[in-house]
Amino acid sequence: MNIYALEQNIQQLMAREHVPGMALAILQSDEIIYARGFGVTNTEIGGIPVTPETLFRVGSITKPMTATLILRLVMDGVLDLDEPITTYLSDFIFEKNPAYTEKITLRMLLSHTAGLPSGYSQYGWRDKNGLRQYIYTELQTSDFIAPPNTVYSYCNPGVRLAGYIAEVVMERPYIDLMQDYIFDPLAMKHTTFDPAIAMTYPLAQSHDLLDDGSLQVVHRYADNSGGYPSGGVISTILDLLRFGHLFINPEYGNHHTILNEAMCQEAHQKQVSRFMPTQGAYGLGWSLSLYKGHSSAWHEGLISTFGAKLLLIPDEGIGIAIVCNRCFSFWDAMDTIIDQSLADKISPKLLPPAPPKLNAAWSDVYGTYIGHERGIMELREHHEGILCIWNGETHVLQLVDHDLLYQNEPVSLAVGVVEAGTTIMVNGSPCQQIAHIKFQNPSSSWAQYTGIYTGADRLTVNYTHHELTVTSLEYDVTCVCKAIDTQKFVCHLGTLFFEDDQTLVWCGVYRLNKVA
């Protein structure tokens, strides 16, 4: 690794994408071989240089930590991954689908196969009772997007429910269990859920990018104890690697007292396919895929404007953690930094053999599909592969496996078959087959929807030249919308439903309010 070239590149990427602070650390052969901070904790008064011990919010990297707690309780014989959740929560029921309650297990909750929708709210309860309040005031009335154990669909509420089950069975708050079973034994001394504790250490702040190109600290810290098990951890790159080390070398130090080797392997066993070209799958709290041909386990995290990634390549004894305090438009750069950091440490394995040829069974897949997170897709026969019309854009996809289509350019697009004629996966999210939809013609009435909507993302909606477009701050992309009716639209960002000219429901779950 050319450290000088790496650090120069990091600083250039941070400047280009307006990232105030970032930290990076690498674990190899049971040792931290590199750790450094870049930039500052905040751009206003009191900002200090970022170091490897600066605390950042790590968002959904909390999920594999929660899964580790559950696996530890399974190891101790307290929980069973395949028992219905009603075994542990006799008074809980999904009110809109009561029959599903007895079908859902901890394994489904941790592998995102319970059929629940995603859900995200960075502000909410701020006490230890928040998790229970969330379970019985919000989750209990949740809709389902699919029957349990049928399809992968990324789901924050499911992991929260798993954390709450641990809390009930152990008769102790979830955050106390995490401290005693995970953070303390792994010497994660700076890791916490509590902002009041985090603020006693060097702490990075989230930032908004203003129209004039300057950065402004977000002066409201994201905190919602109702969502702690799915995304509440505040940590450092060094502590993230202390956690990851458990799965790289279960025999190291006292790791076996936290999880034995069998349970570590269980966490990284494929539970469900995500239908991605790198053999994408999900285990128990971990995303699984190939990295340069090597098996890897990883997770990303996003909360407020913080972004983080923890990548493990257990067979090579390597782990890498990266965090930043403004991640919008920086995700690809983080992957570039990881690739450069590991360039001389991971030798690519040989590519798999050529994929099978398209067969007649694919005719059963042709049709029109819709999904809250991916919009509308139509699949048709084509002499060069399969024709895919995705939210009005046309692509020809090639077979890369017997049940997977893919293209890398001009946009990355993966389509997998869960059940022919019923369910497909588009870039890792489920879409259900429907009757053909004819898009509506443009209308000047769409102009009422223009404005900026905030909530789970910051979406800017415009109506110009007879087109409705939406721009996402998180994904740094602008998409042209197609109208299903006068209120419902689809694009590559998913479904948009305007309840009125002030409220937008995005992806069927997230309610955003107009601010300008």
Residues 336 and 202 in one domain: yes
Per-residue pLDDT, 351? 58
Q: How far is CA 131 from the centre of its chain?
A: 20
Residue 338 has which token pair?
A: 């990881």
| Residue 378 included in any domain | yes
Residue 331 has which token pair?
A: 């995700």
Per-residue pLDDT, 399? 86
Contact 6, 340 (CB under 8 A): yes
From first to last of its 516 residues, what are the pLDDT tens digits of the chain? 789 999 999 999 999 999 999 999 999 999 999 999 999 999 998 899 999 999 999 999 999 999 999 999 999 999 999 999 999 999 999 999 999 999 999 999 999 999 998 877 787 778 888 999 999 999 999 989 889 999 999 999 999 999 999 999 999 999 999 999 999 999 999 999 999 999 999 999 999 888 888 999 999 998 999 999 999 999 999 999 999 999 999 999 889 999 999 999 999 999 999 988 887 899 999 999 999 999 999 999 999 999 999 999 999 999 999 999 999 889 999 999 999 999 999 988 765 665 666 665 678 889 999 998 899 999 998 888 899 999 888 999 988 888 888 888 888 899 998 888 789 999 989 999 988 788 899 999 999 999 999 877 889 999 998 999 999 987 888 999 999 999 999 999 999 999 998 999 988 878 889 987
* Residue finishing a domain among 277, 306, 341: 341
| Residue 354 included in any domain | no
Characterize the bridge pairing of strands 458-464 and 467-472.
Answer: antiparallel
Burial class (CB in 10 A: 0-12, 13-18, 19+), 481: buried
Residues 70 and 157 in one domain: yes
Q: How far apart are CA 457 and CA 183, in angstroms?
A: 30
Torsion angle (degrees, nearest 10) of CA 46, 49, 52, 58: 50
Q: Residue 497: what residue type?
A: F
Burial class (CB in 10 A: 0-12, 13-18, 19+), 487: middle
Torsion angle (degrees, nearest 10) of CA 246, 249, 254, 255: 30
| Residue 214 included in any domain | yes
Per the structure, the count of domains in the chain is 4
Contact 110, 159 (CB under 8 A): yes
Residues 12 and 149 in one domain: no
| Residue 179 included in any domain | no
Q: How far apart are CA 280 and CA 487, in angstroms?
A: 35
| Residue 349 included in any domain | no
CB under 8 Å to 161, separation ≥6 — which residues? 85, 109, 135, 139
Residues 242 and 161 in one domain: no
Per-residue pLDDT, 353? 63
Which among 7, 10, 1 is positioned nearest to 335, based on CA atoms? 10
| Residue 306 included in any domain | yes
| Residue 180 included in any domain | no
Q: How far apart are CA 96 and CA 98, in angstroms?
A: 6
DSSP strands (E only) in 40-170: 56-57
Integer-rounded Cα radius of gyration of the chain: 23
Residues 137 and 286 in one domain: no
Burial class (CB in 10 A: 0-12, 13-18, 19+), 344: exposed
> Taking the CB of residue 155, how many other CB atoms lie within 10 A of it?
24
DSSP 296-308: EEEEEEEETTEEE
> Taking the CB of residue 435, how many other CB atoms lie within 10 A of it?
6
Q: How far apart are CA 56 and CA 177, in angstroms?
A: 21
Q: Which 3 state secondary structure label does DSSP give 48?
A: coil
What values do phi and psi take at 457, rounded to 5? Answer: -150, 175
pTM above 0.75, yes or no: yes
Tell me which residue range forms the domain holding 507.
444-514
Burial class (CB in 10 A: 0-12, 13-18, 19+), 47: middle
Q: How far apart are CA 104 and CA 159, in angstroms?
A: 12
The verdict on whether omega for the bond into residue 277 sits within 30 degrees of 0, i.e. cis, is no
Residue 309 has which token pair?
A: 């990634």
Residues 328 and 288 in one domain: yes
Contact 314, 320 (CB under 8 A): no
Residues 46 and 193 in one domain: yes
* Residue finishing a domain among 128, 149, 174: 174
Residues 280 and 215 in one domain: yes
Burial class (CB in 10 A: 0-12, 13-18, 19+), 141: exposed
* Residue finishing a domain among 143, 174, 205: 174
Per-residue pLDDT, 95? 93
Residues 390 and 449 in one domain: no
Residues 379 and 417 in one domain: yes
Q: Residue 86: what residue type?
A: T
Residues 414 and 506 in one domain: no
Question: What CATH number corresponds to the domain at position 385?
Answer: 2.40.128
Q: Which helix (H) or strand (E) holds 217?
A: strand 215-217
Question: What CATH number corresponds to the domain at position 308?
Answer: 3.40.710.10
Per-residue pLDDT, 455? 79
Q: Which helix (H) or strand (E) holds 163?
A: helix 156-170
